[in-house]
Amino acid sequence: MTDKIAYTRHDDIAVLRIQNPPVNALGVAVRRGLADAVDRAEADAGVRAVLIVGDGRAFIAGADISEFGKPPMSPNLPDLCNRIEASPLVVVASMHGVSLGGGLEVAMAAHYRIAQPGSRVGLPEVHLGLLPGAGGTQRLPRLIGVENAIEVITTGRHIQAAEALELGIIDKIEEGDPETVGLAYTKSLLAKDAPRRPISEMPGPDPIDWDATYAAILKKGRGQISPATAVRAIQAASELEFSKGMTRERELFMELMKTDQRKGLIHAFFGERAVSNLPELKGVEPRPLQSIGVIGGGTMGAGIATAALLAGFKVVLIEMKKEAADAAQDRISGNLSGALKRGKITQTQFDALTTTALEVSVNYDSLSDVDLVVEAVFEDMSVKKQVFAKLDAICKPGAILATNTSYLDINEIAASTTRPKDVIGLHFFSPAHVMKLLEVVVADQTALDVTATGFALGKALGKTSVRAGVCDGFIGNRILATYRTAADHMVLDGASPYQIDKALTDFGFAMGPYAVADLAGLDIGWATRKRKAPERHPDERVPTYIDRLCEQGHFGQKTGQGYYIYEKGKRGGVPNPEITRLIEAEQQALGITPQSFTDAQIVRRYMCAMVNEGARVLEEGIAARPLDIDMTLLFGYGFPRYWGGPMKWADIQGLPQVLADIEEYACEDAWFWRPAPLLRDLIAKGQDFEHMNKEAAT
Ligand code: 3HC
Ligand code: NAI
C-alpha cells in the first residue's frame, strides 16, 4: 500500500483516508493505494464495511489532471471504481469540501454517500475537454435519471450538498468531522444490515431523443465538443448493459483525450492558476488594503468602485463637479442594483454599500487616508499628471497610486510624483465589475510590494491578474491593435467585415472584431488613428473608409449605426450597407481588385498576426511568459477557452507552419508581416511556447 492511503480499523469498519494534498487528486499512487487498501480490508478478519474519507480540504478533486496526455499507469480509474463497487463489504464515502470528477465517481462506486453541509459535488470534466471517464456517465443517470444527469454532466456545474441530496446523488447530510460522522453512519447501516447497493446493478435510464439532445448541446457549446460527446456516453447507459456502456464511455473519453480542445482547456486550467504565481513575488508581503480611492466616476471609475464595494472595501470616489459626482453615484447604484436583482447581494447590503461603504466627493482631501487609489479620468497625459501631482500631495505615505490608463506611458505618469516606487498600472476592462481580467502594469520603478499588492487586490476582487510591462497598449490592447490591423487589411483586400466576424465567431470568439468595435465606440479608434498619424510609417496600410462614417457622427452601438445598424429593443445589429459602399469606394480609389478569402484563410491570418505580435511582446519582456498572453486574451478579449490562448494555438499548429504562413503573407505586405525573431529562435532550437512556460516555472 502506498503512503497516500492511511488504513485504520474501527471495530468492524476499515477507514481508508486519502492523503494527497492539496486536494487529494487521484494520481497513480492514490489509485494503487486505494486498490491495495480495499484488498487489505477484505482480507482483514472481522471487517464488514469500508469507509473512504479524504484528508485536508477536500474529499477528492478528481483525476490528477497533470497525468493527462502521459502514458497510462495501472490501475486506471474506471477499473478502480469497479473494484471498489464490487467489494463484498459495504462501502461508504464520507465527503467534505469538493468531490469532483473522478472524486464523485469514486463516491458513486461506494454503496452509500454521506456529505458535509457545506460540501459540493460535480462532474466538471467537460470544462477540461473530456467527459466523466470512470463510470460517471453510466452511474449518474442510473442514480438520478437521464434528464438530470445530462444537465449535471454537460454543464459541469458544482452542486451544493442540499441540492445533491434532493437529486439523490448523496444519501445523507451531517455536520461534523467527516470520519466521525462517516463512522456513525456506517455503523447505523451495519446495525440494520443494510445491503450493498451497487449503482451498476440499477436499471439503465429511459431513452430520450438522443440526436436532438446531442444537436442542442453541440449548439450551446459554441464549438466546444466535450458536452455533446458526453451525451453520447449517457446514451450508452440507456442502450447498453453496464459493462458495455463502460467500454463505450472509455472509447469516447479516449477520443476526447486526443483532441486539441482537451489540450487547450487543460492549458487554460493550469494557466489561470500559474498566471498570478510570479517567481519575483515569492515571499513578498503585499501592503494592507482596506480602503480604495477612485478618481473619476465615468464608465470605468464607477465599475471599479462597484467591484471594490462588492469585495468589501471602503470606497472614496472623487469627481470634478457636483453633477458628475451625482451621475457617478447613480452609475454605481445602477451596477449594484444589477447585483441585487441577480441575488448576489441583499437589500440590506445594497443599502450599506451605497451609503456607509461609499463616499462620493468633489474634494481630493477625502483621499488622505486611503490605502490605494485608482485613477480613471480622461485618457489624457496632462490631465493624468495633474491628478497624480494632487494625489502625491494628499495621499498618506505608503499609499499606492494606480492608473487605469489604456495606453499612456506609466513611467511618465510616475515621474510626475515624488514617489514613483508607489506608482503602478491597474488596467481594468469594461464593465470593470464584470470582466475578469486585470493587467497589473509594472513600471520601471514600481516597488515589488506594490506589484504584490496589485495582485492581492485582483484576487480580492475575484479577477484573473496578469503582469504586464509598460508599452503602448500593454499586453492585451497592443496585441488587439495588431490583429485588428490584419483584419482591416483583409477588408481592404476583399473580405467583408461581416464575413470576418462570422469566421471568428465560428472559430469560437464571443464576438467578431467589427461587432466589438461597434460596442466599444468607433470614436476611440478614430481618435487613435488621428493621434498616430504623424508618426506613421509610409508603408503602413490604414483604411480610411471608417473615418468617413465617423465624420457623419456614427460611432457604433451608442449612436445606432456603425459596421452594423442597431434597432432599439433588438439584440445585435444588421450589416450596414453604407459600410459596403464606403469600402468599395476606397478599394477603387486605391486601385485594389478585391480577392476572396475563405473563412479558414481569415482565421489563419488573424491568428498569425496575434501570435507574431505576442512573440514580440515576449521578446520585449512586456509579458514574462507565453501563458500570460494566453490568459490575457482568454479573460479580457473573448478568446475561445478551448484553444487555450493564441500562443497555445500556435504550439498546437506547430511553430514552423505558423512562421511559414507569416513569411507567405510577407510577400504581399513585408512591413506588416515582419516575423518576430523569437519565432525563428524557438524553431531553430526545436522548442515551442510551452517550453518557455516550463522554463519560467523552474
Ligand atoms: N489534478 C491535479 N491538480 C489539481 C487538481 C486535479 N484534479 N485539482 C486541483 N489541482 C491543483 C491546482 O492546480 C493547484 O495547484 P497549484 O497550487 O500548484 O497551483 C492546487 O491543486 C490547488 O487548486 P486551486 O488553486 O484551484 O484551489 P481552489 O481551492 O481554488 O480550488 C478545486 C480547488 C475546486 C478542486 C479546483 O482546483 C478544481 O476545480 N480542480 C479541478 C477539478 C476537476 O476538474 N476535476 C475533474 C478532473 S478530470 C477527471 O476526474 C477525469 C475522470 O472522470 C476520469
Ligand atoms: P469616462 O469619460 O467615462 O470617465 C472619465 C471621468 O473622469 C468623467 O466622469 C470625468 O468627469 C472624470 N474626471 C475627469 N478629470 C477628472 C479629475 N481631474 N478629477 C476627477 N474626475 C475627473 O472615461 P472612461 O471610459 O471611464 O475611461 C477612464 C480611463 O479608463 C481612461 O484612462 C481610459 O483609457 C481607461 N479605460 C477605459 C476603458 C473603457 O472601455 N472605457 C477600458 C480600460 C481603461
* 8 Å CB contact between 438 and 464: yes
Strands of the sheet containing 159-160, edge to edge, are: 98-100, 120-122, 159-160
Q: How far is CA 26 from CA 2, 19, 23, in A?
A: 13, 10, 9
Cα of 174 from ligand 1 centre, angstroms: 25
Question: CB-based contacts of 236: which residues, under 8 Å, 6+ apart?
Answer: 137, 138, 244, 245, 248, 249
CA atoms within 13 A on the CB side of 592: 20
For the Cβ of 106 lying below 6 angstroms from any atom of ligand 1, the answer is: no
How would DSSP label each residue in 570-638?
-SS-EE-HHHHHHHHHHHHHHT-------HHHHHHHHHHHHHHHHHHHHHTTSSSSHHHHHHHHHHHS-
Q: State whether the beta carbon of 405 lies less than 6 angstroms from ligand 2.
A: yes
CATH number of 282-468: 3.40.50.720
Vertex 134: Cα angle to 132 and 135 (nearest 5): 85
Residues labelled catalytic: 105, 125
Q: How far apart (Å, rounded) are the C-alpha atoms in residues 24 and 286?
A: 30
Is any ligand 2 atom within 6 A of the Cβ of residue 254?
no
Q: So what's the pLDDT on residue 1?
A: 56
CATH superfamily of 5-124+134-199: 2-enoyl-CoA Hydratase; Chain A, domain 1 (3.90.226.10)
Determine which residue's CA is closest to atom 38 belonging to ligand 1: 61
Q: Round to whole Å and give the CA distance between 552 and 538.
A: 27
> Could you tell me if 292 and 313 are in contact, meaning their C-beta atoms sit under 8 angstroms apart?
yes
Q: Closest-lying ligand to the alpha carbon of 425?
A: 2
| Three-state DSSP string of 577-594 | HHHHHHHHHHHHHHCCCC
Please give the pLDDT value at position 571.
81
Instruction: Please state the φ and ψ torsions of residue 117, each to the nearest 5 degrees.
Output: -55, -40
Cis ω before 397 (30° cut-off from 0): no
* Smallest-distance ligand from the CA of 24: 1
Q: Whose CA is nearest to atom 12 of ligand 2?
A: 296
Nearest ligand 2 atom, CA 321: 11
The confidence score (pLDDT) of residue 261 equals: 98
User: Which pLDDT score is estimated for 528?
Assistant: 85
For residue 61, how far is its CA from the centre of ligand 1 (angstroms)?
Answer: 6
pLDDT of residue 570: 83
Cα 555 → chain centroid: 30
d(CA 125, CA 269): 11
Q: Is 180 in the pocket of ligand 2 (CB under 6 A)?
A: no
Task: Extract the residue ranges of the chain whose pLDDT is less than 70.
Answer: 1-2
At 74, list the grid cell: 495501472
- The residue ranges of every structural domain in the chain are 5-124+134-199, 282-468, 476-697
Q: Which ligand is nearest to the CA of 377?
A: 2
CA 654 to chain CA mean position, Å? 24
CATH number for the domain whose boundaries are 476-697: 1.10.1040.50
